[in-house]
Amino acid sequence: MSEKSSINLDKNKNLETTYFAFGCFWGKEFLMQNTKGVVATRVGYTGGLTDFPSYIEVCSKKTGHAETVEVIYDQEVVSFSDLVEIFFRNHNTNSSKRQGENNSGNYRSAIFYTTQKQKQEAERIIELLKNKGHKVLTQVAPIGPFFEADERHQNYCKRTGNVPKEKNYLIQEI
């Protein structure tokens, strides 16, 4: 498991961390990085059984990990609810184990919370969406060990200029 981001969360009480798994982490990291109030991101793996998995191992679908974006955000600028809305607007929640053509568990839809408040808010929004008739198979679970992906996967879109196209999948309003 890698060390925490260089941002000192203890020093700035307005900062909070959460984790989103919603497809290939390259484009999703770019999306979160470009959200006002997000101060740092990292990509990695969580939710599985293998310690220190490699990208190849995670893609083999045998580790149980999901490709995940760690998001550190300033709660005075962007709320957890706002981030959850971005999460739901930018992936297909109709399948618990796939995004697009990829049907592996590493692309599953999941919110890995760090506080009970995040858990309650994620569950509240999911219930709201279900009551509006949306099929939501998103997993909500406490964050376990987060294993940072290797350097070539960090900031991939910014480094390569390979900017993902914006997509609004299922949710238009929450």
Give the mean model confidence (pLDDT) for residues 77-92: 92
Task: List the single range of 29-38, 52-61, 78-87, 101-110 with lowest mean pLDDT.
Answer: 101-110
Q: What is the pLDDT of residue 91?
A: 81
- What pLDDT digit, counting tens, does each position of 124-161 carry? 999 999 998 888 989 999 999 999 999 988 988 888 88
Strand 66-74 relative to strand 15-22: parallel, antiparallel, unpaired? antiparallel
Contact 46, 143 (CB under 8 A): yes
- What pLDDT digit, counting tens, does each position of 104-116 carry? 478 889 999 999 9
All domains of the chain in start order, with CATH: 15-160 (3.30.1060.10)
Whole-structure pTM value: 0.85
Q: Is the dihedral of CA 146, 77, 117, 28 positive or negative?
A: negative
For 7, the 3-state DSSP assignment is coil
Burial class (CB in 10 A: 0-12, 13-18, 19+), 19: buried
Contact 41, 128 (CB under 8 A): no
Q: What is the pLDDT of residue 62?
A: 86
pLDDT band at 100 (very low <50, low <70, confident <90, very high): very low
Cα 31 to Cα 141: distance, rounded to the nearest angstrom:
22
Q: What is the pLDDT of residue 98?
A: 47
Q: What is the pLDDT of residue 95?
A: 57
Q: Which two tokens stand for residue 12?
A: 């700035």
Q: What is the pLDDT of residue 3?
A: 38
Q: What is the pLDDT of residue 167?
A: 58
Hey, what's the torsion of the CAs at 32, 149, 144, 2, to 10 degrees? -110
Active site amino acids: 24
Cα 160 to Cα 83: distance, rounded to the nearest angstrom:
25
Phi and psi at residue 159, in whole multiples of 5°? -70, -40
The more confident residue out of 9 and 164 is: 164
